[in-house]
Structure 1
C-alpha cells in the first residue's frame, strides 16, 4: 500500500513539474514580443534595423519617447482611444446584461434557437469581409464622420461571448429572489434593475474589462473609418503611422516607443482588476 502511494506521489510530482515547465515556456513565448518592444523602444533605430534577438539595447535612448510624442498627436489619439474604449464598454455592459438576463429568466418562442445562434457566432470571425458593407452603411446614415459608428460596430462584434458569460453567471443566482420580488410587486425590468443587476457585478467587471480591451486594441475598423480625418485616429492607428516618420527608413524605435505608451493603460487596468476578472470569468464560463 505504501509502495503504490509512493509511486502515485512520484507521478503527481512529475506531472506537476511538466505542467510548470509547459506554463513557463508558454509564458515566455507570450511575453517575449512585449518585452522586446519595451526594450526596443530604448534602442537606436540603426540597432533595430540590424535585427537580431538581443533584448537589452547597446545604449539606452530615452529621447525616443519624446520624439514619438512630438511627431504624433498622442494627446488627441489617447482621448480618442479612451472615448472608443469607454463607449464600447458602456454599450456592451448595457446590452449584454439585459440580453443575458432575458435569456436566463424569460421564456419565449425560439429562445433556445436564438441563443444557439449567438453561441455559434462566438466561433465565427468574418473579420475584414464585413468592413466594406459596414462602412457603406455608416456613410448612408451619415455616421462615418464620428467615432459613434466605430463604437457601435466594435461593441456589436463581441456580444455573443459576453451574453454567454452573463447568462452562465445568471444560473448561479437563485430564481427564488425573482419570485420574492414578484410577490412584492416588482415588474420584470424592476427585478433586473433592482435585484439582479447588483448581483452581476463580478461578471460585469469581467465583461467591462474585456470590452474595454477590445475597444482599446481595435485597429482595422478605426483605420478605415478615420482615413479622411486624422483627428479621429485612436492610439492603435496613430502608433503605426510613426513607422513612416523616419528619414527615409522605417522608424521602428519611434513605433516601439509609441506602442509602449499605448499598452501602459491597459496593463494598469488589468493589474487593478485582475481579481474581479478571474472570479467573473470562471463563474460565467463554468456555469454557462
Structure 2
C-alpha cells in the first residue's frame, strides 16, 4: 500500500514543480517584455543622438556606424540648450521646493485640524484626483497671472506648475495620520505652538513621503510641455528644455536636424533618470509608507 502510494506522491510533486517552473518562466517573460518596451525608446534616443541626420532619416542600423559626439556640442552651442537646461533646472527646483512646502502644510492641516468646510475641501481635492481638466484650466490661469502682471516672468511658470497637488496632499495627509497624536500632545505640553509641532515633530518624521512628493514634483515640472509652452510662448528666452527640443523641429534652419533633436531629448531624459537611479529606494519606501499609513 505504501509502495503503491509513493510513486503517485512523487508524480504529484513533479507536476506541481512543472507548474511553478512554467509560472516563473511566464513571469520573467512578462517582465522582460515590459523592460524592453520601457527602455527601448530611451536607448534608441540616446544612440540616435550620436548618429548623423542622414543615418537617422534613411534608417541605418540600431547602433551608430560612427559616433558623432559633436551633436551635443551643436545642441549646447548652436541651439543654445545650455540656457534652456538652466531654465529647466531653475523651474523644476523651484516647483519642487514650493510643492513640498505647500503640500506638507496642507497635509498636516487636513490630518490634524478640524475646521469649517474641511469636508467640502476634501471632496474638492478628491474630485481633482479623478477629474482631469487638463488644458481647460490653462487659459484662466494665464489670464489670472496676466491680471497680476507677472505672466512674463519665470515665477508665473513656477506658480502654474505648482498647482494641482491634490494627490500629493492626500499622500502627506495619509502619512501624517499614521504619526501618533501623543507626540503632538507631548510637544504642546512642553510649550510648542502648532507651528512648533509642525516644524519639530511632523516635518522631520515626514521625510520619506516628502521625498516622494519632491520626486513627483520635479519629474512633472521637468517633463511638462503644454503649460511651459503656453506660459513662455511670447518669451522664448524663458523656454524650458522640453519646449526648446520640440520647437527645434519647427525652426526654419533645424527642421530636419533630427540628430540635434535627439541630442536635446537625451539631455532632457538623462537628468531625471539619474535622479531616479539614486533615489529609487527612498521613492518606493516613502510611497509604500504613504499608501499604508492612515
Q: TM-score, normalised by structure 2?
A: 0.89
Q: Which residue of 2 aligns with 1:21?
A: 29
1:207 lines up with 2:207 in the alignment: no
Shift of 1:11: 3.8
Uncovered stretches (5+) of structure 1, i.e. residues with no partner: none
**Residues 9 and 163 (structure 1 numbering): CA distance in 2 closer, same or farther, change over 3 Å?**
farther
Kept in 2: contact 1:65–1:258 (CA 8 A): yes
- Cα deviation, residue 276, structure 1: 1.1
Segments of structure 2 that go 5 or more residues without pairing to the other structure are 1-8
Aligned CA distance change for structure 1 residues 99 and 2 (closer, same or farther; 3 Å): farther
Deviation of 1:172 after TM superposition, in Å, equals: 2.5
2:289 maps to 1:278: no
1:261 aligned to 263, 267, 282, which one? 267
CA 1:253 to 1:197, structure 2 compared with 1: closer, same or farther past 3 Å?
same
Partner of 2:231: 225
Alignment partner, residue 176 of structure 1: 182
Residues paired across the two proteins, number:
286
Q: Deviations over 1:246-281 (max 9, x none)?
A: 757521110000111122222221122112111101
Say if 2:52 and 2:68, in contact at 8 Å, map to a contact too.
yes
**Are 1:63 and 2:70 matched, yes or no?**
yes
Partners of 2:248 and 2:255 within 8 A in 1:
no
Aligned to 2:123: 116
**Kept in 2: contact 1:203–1:280 (CA 8 A):** yes
Alignment of 1:84-233 (within 5 A): 84-157=91-164, 159-233=165-239
Correspondence 1:35 to 2:43: yes
**C-alpha deviation, 1:243, in angstroms:** 2.5
Q: Which residue of structure 1 lines up, in the alignment, with residue 5 of structure 2? A: none
Classify the secondary structure of the residue corresponding to 1:250. Answer: coil
Asked if the contact 1:80–1:234 (Cα under 8 Å) also holds between the matched residues in 2, the reply is yes
- Cα distance in 2 between the residues matched to 1:104 and 1:90: 21
Q: 1:109: how far off? A: 3.6
Tell me which residue corresponds to 1:240.
246
For the 8 Å contact 1:71–1:242, the answer to whether it is kept is: no
Task: Compare CA radii of gyration and give the structure with the larger one.
Answer: 2
- Give the alignment's Cα RMSD to 1 decimal: 2.1
Contact kept in structure 2, 1:96 and 1:163, CA below 8 Å: yes
Report whether the alignment pairs 1:75 with 2:88. no
Q: 1:180 to 1:85 in 2, by over 3 A?
A: same
C-alpha distance in structure 1 between counterparts of 2:230 and 2:30, whole Å: 40
Could you tell me whether the CA contact under 8 Å between 1:99 and 1:163 is conserved in 2?
A: yes
Are residues 23 and 116 of structure 1, via their aligned partners in 2, closer, same or farther at CA, if it must alter by over 3 Å? farther
Query: Do the aligned partners of residues 104 and 247 (structure 1) sit closer, same or farther apart at CA in structure 2, a change above 3 Å counting?
Result: closer
CA distance in 1, matches of 2:71, 2:290: 43
Task: Give the SS at the match of 2:163.
Answer: helix
Q: Distance in 2 between matches of 1:218 and 1:247?
A: 25
CA drift of 1:110 comes to 3.7
User: Hey, what's the Cα distance between the residues in 2 that align with 1:10 and 1:125?
Assistant: 46
